[in-house]
Structure 1
C-alpha cells in the first residue's frame, strides 16, 4: 500500500476500544468506574488509555490521588472528537440493523441546537437507504403541529413548554425533558423597577411564550429589544448584549451566561421535545423508532 493510501486509511494503531476506554474514563472520572461501565477490568482500561497516549504522543489524563482523574488540555481537545466518532459508529450500526427503508417521508423540525443534531443522522439514514427520500422543513412548533394535523407532514419534532392534549389519532413520544433557562451575555441582576430587554423570535414559539408568560405572571415590565425571524438571530443578539431570552439547556452557546432567580428573574417551565406522527405507515413508524433510539435522546426523557 502506498503512502497516500495509508494516509487515507488513517492510523490503524488507534482502535475503537482505545477511544471507548478514554471517553469512559473522562466521563466517569476514574479507571475503576470506567471498567464497570465497559464491563472490563480496571487494568485493561488503564492499558487502553496508556497505549492511546503513546500512539498520540501526549498525555490525555492527569492521574490524581486515589482513583480520580482529570482531562489535560490535549485530553479536552480529543474528547469531543472521540465521542463524535463513537456516536457516528453507533448510528451507522443502528441504521444497518434495521430493514432497508424505502419511500418518501416529510419531516418537520423546529430550528434550534436540540434538533440540529438530527441533520447528520438523517443524511446518514438516506445514504444507507437509497430508496428513502426525506424532505425536511424547519419551522416553529405551532406551525408544524398545524401542518401535521392537516396531513402536510408525516412526522414532526416539536418543542413545548407544557404537556398538552393531542388528538386521539396522534402518536406522541417524549424525546427529551430539559430545563428552560434565562440567557444573557453577562451576569446582571434585575429589580422589580427595571424594564427588562427581551430578545425574541418574530413568531410566538415555546421559548418566547415561556419568557413573556413568566415575566407577566411575576408582574415584571419588559420590552422587545431585538426581534429576529430566526433562532440563530436570537442567539446572536443575546450574545451581542441586546438583552436576555429563554433557551433550553441544550441550546446554550459558549457566549451565553445563565441567569437565575438569584438575579431577580422568575422561574421557568421545562421544555419538552416531542416526536409526533399520525401515520400508520410501517416505513414512517420504523423511521420514528430510529429517531427515538438515537443516543442523543437516550436517558433524556
Structure 2
C-alpha cells in the first residue's frame, strides 16, 4: 500500500493534489459522484464509465491514500467512512475550483437577476460558498434564494419563477426527473425517539408534513401496503418542528437520512417497519440561463464537467 497522502484531513485546495502525483481529478470525480448518487451503477452512468471501471478507480484512490473511503458490502455502496467524509468535502471543493479556474478564461461575466430555489432541508452551507464565489467573480449579478417544500419549488420552476431549482422527489411517487437530472440520492428512513417495534402501536402515530409532501405520501403508501392503521399526530411545514416532534416522542416520521437529528433512532430491520424508497435530489435548469449552468458547474462539478 502507498504511504498516506500528507495533509489529507486538512486538504482544502488544489495544493493538496501535489502530495501524490498519482492522484488525479478523475479519482476525485469518481468519489464525489459515487457519494452524490449513492451507487456504483448510477455513478458509472453519470460518468460514462462501466461499473467495474468506477470500482477500480475507487480502489486506486484508496490505495493512493492508504485508507478506506467507502463502506461497501457484496459490491454495494453503503456510504462514506469518517475519512471518506472528510476527503469528500475537500475533493468537491477542488473540483469546483478547477472548473472555476477553467471558466475564468472562457466564460463571460454574468449579470442581472438569478433566482434559485432549494428545499427546506437542503444543507444551506453547501451553497453558501458557491453563491459567494459567483458574486465575487460577477459584481453585476444579483441572486435571490427561495427555500420551501420541494413540491412548492417544483411549482415555482414550472411557473418560470425560478432559473434553477433543487428539489427532492421520492420514487415512484414523483416519477422520473424529466426536467432535470438527479444529483444525489439517499435513503428515506423511519425516525423515532427511541428504538422500538412497530407492532407496539394499535394505531401508528405519525409526525409529518402537510398533504402534498413526497415523504408523507411515501410513509402513507408504505403503511397502507403493510395493512397498518395510522394517524397524523403532528403536522407541520417546518423541518425543525417535525424533527423536534420526533425527538419529543409525539410521533414517528419518514425523513431523509441527512435530515435525522442526532437523538433520533432508526428502527432496525425486522422491527416491523415497512421499507421506504430512496430520495433523489434533482436539479432543474432553465436552458436560457447561463447563470444557472454556472451555478450547477460550481455546486455539482462531478456531474457538470463537460
Partners of 2:244 and 2:211 lie apart in 1 by 17
Q: Confirm or deny: 8 A CA contact 2:191 2:267 kept in the other structure.
A: yes
Q: Confirm or deny: 8 A CA contact 2:209 2:242 kept in the other structure.
A: yes
Distance 1:185 1:34, change over 3 A: same
Per the alignment, residue 68 of structure 1 pairs with none
Task: Within 5 Å, give how 1:10-89 maps onto structure 2.
Answer: 16=16, 36-37=60-61, 84=89, 87-89=92-94
Per the alignment, residue 9 of structure 1 pairs with none
Deviation sequence 1:118-139 (CA, Å, 0-9, x none): 2333233323332322211011
Partners of 2:112 and 2:278 lie apart in 1 by 35
Distance 1:158 1:35, change over 3 A: closer
Report how far residue 80 of structure 1 moved.
Answer: 6.9
Counterpart check, 1:187 vs 2:191: no
Q: Confirm or deny: 8 A CA contact 1:197 1:225 kept in the other structure.
A: yes
Q: Confirm or deny: 8 A CA contact 2:96 2:299 kept in the other structure.
A: no
Task: Within 5 Å, give how 1:104-253 maps onto structure 2.
Answer: 104-113=113-122, 117-162=126-171, 164=174, 171-191=179-199, 194-202=202-210, 204-253=212-261
Distance 1:213 1:165, change over 3 A: closer
Report how far residue 93 of structure 1 moved.
Answer: 3.7
Per the alignment, residue 100 of structure 2 pairs with 95
Distance 1:35 1:109, change over 3 A: closer
For this pair of structures, how many residues does the alignment match?
A: 242
Partners of 1:147 and 1:252 lie apart in 2 by 27
Q: 3-state SS of the aligned residue for 2:180?
A: strand
Report how far residue 255 of structure 1 moved.
Answer: 1.6
Mean CA deviation greater in 217-226 or 133-142 = 217-226
TM score, norm. by length of structure 1: 0.65
TM score, norm. by length of structure 2: 0.64
Mean CA deviation greater in 194-203 or 158-167 = 158-167
Q: 3-state SS of the aligned residue for 2:266?
A: strand
Report how far residue 39 of structure 1 moved.
Answer: 8.1
Report how far residue 203 of structure 1 moved.
Answer: 5.1
Partners of 1:138 and 1:281 lie apart in 2 by 20
Deviation sequence 1:35-65 (CA, Å, 0-9, x none): 942885xxxx78xx9xxxxxxxxxxxxxxxx
Q: Confirm or deny: 8 A CA contact 1:95 1:128 kept in the other structure.
A: no
Partners of 2:111 and 2:91 lie apart in 1 by 27
Structure 1 segments unaligned to the other structure (5+ residues): 1-14, 28-32, 50-75
Distance 1:231 1:123, change over 3 A: farther
Q: Confirm or deny: 8 A CA contact 2:96 2:301 kept in the other structure.
A: no
Q: Please, what is the CA RMSD of the aligned residues?
A: 3.9
Partners of 2:291 and 2:220 lie apart in 1 by 40
Distance 1:269 1:79, change over 3 A: closer
Report how far residue 142 of structure 1 moved.
Answer: 1.4
Q: Confirm or deny: 8 A CA contact 2:117 2:164 kept in the other structure.
A: yes
Partners of 2:19 and 2:255 lie apart in 1 by 32
